[in-house]
Amino acid sequence: MNLTLEPETVPLTRTAEGVIRVGGTRVPLDTVVYAFRNGATAEDIVGRFPSLKLADVYGAIAYYLRHTAEVDAYIAAREREADDLRREAEARFPQEGLKAKLLARQAARP
């Protein structure tokens, strides 16, 4: 039997916004890595995100294991961006008294 060995492409794509997604889906690499770090198997991850293919999840995990430092740095940068956006939104739209305002608005409806 002659087994042909060919390089596999990594099932990851980068969007114009810089988000890395898995297997042509909208599932970000971060999500797969978080689940894997928390003990989920590739099968568990596909069960949670049915749009993913099992081979793509294994490919993403393999990429993560081969490039842990780079992926961890990417995820840390994404977390910092999310924190910055959250702080900006909270500064622009203060939460103090929001619940009371919403309840008052609801009570004022006929």
Report pLDDT digits (tens) over 47-93: 999 999 999 999 999 999 999 999 999 999 999 999 999 999 888 88
**What gap in Å lies between CA 32 and CA 82, rounded to an integer?**
18
The predicted-structure confidence for 5-45, as pLDDT tens digits, reads as follows 999 899 999 999 999 999 999 999 999 999 999 999 999 99
Which residues are 70's β-sheet partners?
none
Q: How high is the pLDDT of residue 101?
A: 83
Q: Which pLDDT score, from 0 to 100, does residue 91 have?
A: 87
- Could you tell me the residue ranges of all domains in the chain? 12-108
C-alpha pair distances (Å), 86 with each of 15, 25, 30, 37, 81: 21, 25, 18, 24, 9
pTM value is 0.81
CATH of domain 12-108: 1.10.10.10
- Check if the beta carbon of residue 21 is closer than 8 Å to that of residue 12: yes
